[in-house]
Amino acid sequence: MKLSFFLSAAVFAIGGTVLATAPANAQARDRIQITGSSTVFPFTTTVAERFSQRGGRAPIVESTGTGGGMRLFCAGVGLNTPDITNASRRITQNEFNTCKTNGVDIVELQIGFDGIVLTNSKLGPKMQLTLEQLYLALAAKIPNAQGQLVDNTNRNWSDIAPNLPNVKIEVIGPPPTSGTRDSFNELGLLAGCQEHAKRRNMQIASRECQQIRADGGFIEGGENDNIIVQRLVANPTAFGIFGYSFLEENHDKVQGAVLGGYEPTVDNIQSGKWPMARSMFVYLKKNHIGTVPGLQDFFNEYASEQAMGEDGYLEKKGLVPSPAADRARFRAGVAAATSMAGL
């Protein structure tokens, strides 16, 4: 069924910002409409609140996941389509091509870094894993002793290594529409699969490496990461996958696993030591500048040092700032509304 911005919406007012869990009606509108990533969602709502406090019309911000947001954003130009989409990964070549085919002119803003983290309740065991062990826990198929890919039979963490907890493998994570899921497949499963294949001197196809098990070891938790946190608190032996900002926001309830010998910290994410660090983006539909009031001003606010810079208000929400030179480059592109020429 074709995605449309005329879908019914559940809308909530928080601090002057309109937050929506589904696209809102858009007819001769005077509000900016934003869709996309659940990971970037809290950063964008924070910018939206600042924007409205300074006299701008409160934007409507929804959470559909990166993939769902891109489909809405790239569907075409007009007030029945969103002005901005959030993405917890960079736009893909196919998405970029779809945007261009449909006449969508894009301005790209890299807002900073995030890290995908494996977390559990503070009442549960503190986990220390390698990427290889993460792959062996969550891949749909893994090599047997003869090197043949077979269904994953690891049921408890201790089945992978005796030093891991003797508790059931139960990991709650994002659905396929999520950019976090895309990034986890590449940075977690694929990287861990490659470690395993190298150690065993064998080859495994990338597609096979990134297939997540569907036998109960991995549970899709939806696009709302706060609900995953609640489920972890209720079940101390379960683990969750989401962005670092949600770990930071809920550090009194959940803890991050050590991965590859590194703790999930701002310093490790910014330096690239954290194995599942990634860039986050916001994309503006240039065609709508001058049609939707405040659109350029909102994007300028997002790109400002006070928002995404060192000690900016987004860092306090868990954003890991990009290097100063990168921030300056993207800020200049936003100020000039420079069209994205390609990937």
Higher pLDDT, 12 or 325: 325
- DSSP3 helix / strand / coil % (the chain, rounded to 5): 35, 20, 45
* pLDDT exceeds 80 at position 168: yes
Out of 8-22, 135-149, 175-189, pick the least confident: 8-22
What is the mean pLDDT of the segment spanning 76-95?
A: 95
Span between the terminal Cα atoms of the chain, in Å: 29
Q: Express each pLDDT in 3-48 by its tens digit.
A: 333 333 333 333 444 444 334 443 567 899 999 998 899 999 999 9
* pLDDT exceeds 60 at position 321: yes
* pLDDT exceeds 50 at position 77: yes
Kindly state the tokens that stand for 29. 């509108």
The conformation of residue 117, written as its DSSP 8-state character, comes to E
The pLDDT value recorded for residue 227 is 87
SS3 of 132-175 = HHHHHHHECEEECCCCCEEECCCCEHHHCCCCCCCCECCEEECC
Higher pLDDT, 27 or 336: 336
In the chain, pLDDT over 70 holds for what percent of residues? 92
CA distance 308 to 311: 8
10 Å Cβ neighbour count for 276? 25
CB distance 255 to 122 below 8 Å: yes
The pLDDT value recorded for residue 61 is 95
What's at 23, amino acid-wise? Answer: P
Q: Express each pLDDT in 198-253 by its tens digit.
A: 999 999 999 999 999 999 999 998 777 788 999 999 999 999 999 898 898 899 99
The pLDDT value recorded for residue 243 is 87
In the chain, pLDDT over 90 holds for what percent of residues? 75
Out of 7-16, 54-63, 96-105, 166-175, pick the least confident: 7-16
The pLDDT value recorded for residue 6 is 31
Kindly state the tokens that stand for 159. 């089945």
Angle subtended by helix axes 324-335 and 295-303, to nearest 10: 170
The pLDDT value recorded for residue 101 is 97
Pairing of strands 254-256, 277-285: unpaired
The pLDDT value recorded for residue 30 is 87
* pLDDT exceeds 60 at position 333: yes
